[in-house]
Amino acid sequence: MSRVAAIQMASGPNIGANLIEAERLIGMAVENGAELLVLPENFALMGLTEEDKVEACEDEGSGPIQGFLSRQAATHGVWIVGGTVPLRSPQAGKVYAACLVYDPSGAVVARYDKMHLFDVRIEASQENYTESLTIVPGERVTVVDTPFGRLGLAVCYDLRFPELFRCMLEQDVELFAIPSAFTAFTGKAHWEALVRVRAIENLCYVVAAAQGGYHINGRETYGDSMVVDPWGNVLDRLANGAGVVCASLDLEHLRGIRRGFPAISHRRLHCCDEAAKRL
């Protein structure tokens, strides 16, 4: 068995301060035996405005945020899913929200750009979000081999689109990492249900790392970071505030569930086949 961790933060607009906090929490996770660590969406920067991420964006392969992630992975000899990092895009005034996976040598082994952008108005809480103003959507599904199984990547709002997860299932995924920053309002209504159903319908582990608390920009995020097993059981969780959620991951347990309850092989429709080829 392996130990995995979801790191929960309440990040602000100061990148340096956020990285110091992330380093502290990474150390806690390592002390708890974690070998795979997942940071939340926007872990290094929750700006005062959406444009702050554009000003702080980095070129792929260089920059203080990417350097930090690489050093932490190499220093501790662990795998790190780096939440999201704002990477430069070809479009002026826009970035990619890139989820980067680092191996224990500090090398990047996978990148996923957030595909579904949060352009919504929440009437009940009078909140407006338009991520497409500053973010270019990704176009590729990402699944990567790790010692913990086939790891698939999704970010926050992606959680609401089951076809993305089915496309990853077509690539033999066994574990999802889902860095997130759900709003307090939508999180209360849907977060746990969505995380658990993605585990249940795909018979996969899920490591869901969230922002959780009050932010200087006025946002409140829901938190409730959790690790869920392929039967939908919540193995560990943290309601709100900064901290670490740890649990054991057992691939033999996963594969045993899939053998005994072969819902995946019982599918009659494989709509992702052609779509995945285009991505």
Closest CA to 10 of 178, 239, 210, 236: 210
Structure tokens at 100: 């980067």
DSSP 131: G
Tell me whether residue 41 is one of the annotated catalytic residues.
yes
> Which distant-in-sequence residues (6+ apart) come within 8 Å of 121 by Cβ?
127, 128, 129
Report the helix count and the strand count for the chain, using DSSP H and E: 8, 17
Residue from 57, 58, 99, 114 carrying the catalytic annotation: 114
Q: What is the 3-state secondary structure (H, E, C) of 220-272?
A: EEECCEEEECCCCCEEEEECCCCEEEEEEECHHHHHHHHHHCCCCCCCCCCCH
> Which distant-in-sequence residues (6+ apart) come within 8 Å of 210 by Cβ?
6, 8, 40, 41, 179, 180, 181, 182, 187, 191, 221, 222, 223, 224, 225
Residue from 57, 156, 246, 272 carrying the catalytic annotation: 156
- Give the phi and the psi of residue 206 in degrees, each rounded to 5: -130, 130
How do strand 85-88 and strand 36-38 relate by DSSP bridges?
unpaired
Specify the residue for token string 């970010």.
155
Give CA angle at 237 (234, 243), nearest 5°. 160
Distance CA 277, CA 279 (A): 6
Residue from 21, 35, 41, 220 carrying the catalytic annotation: 41
Rg (the chain; Cα; Å): 17
Tell me the catalytic residues. 41, 114, 156
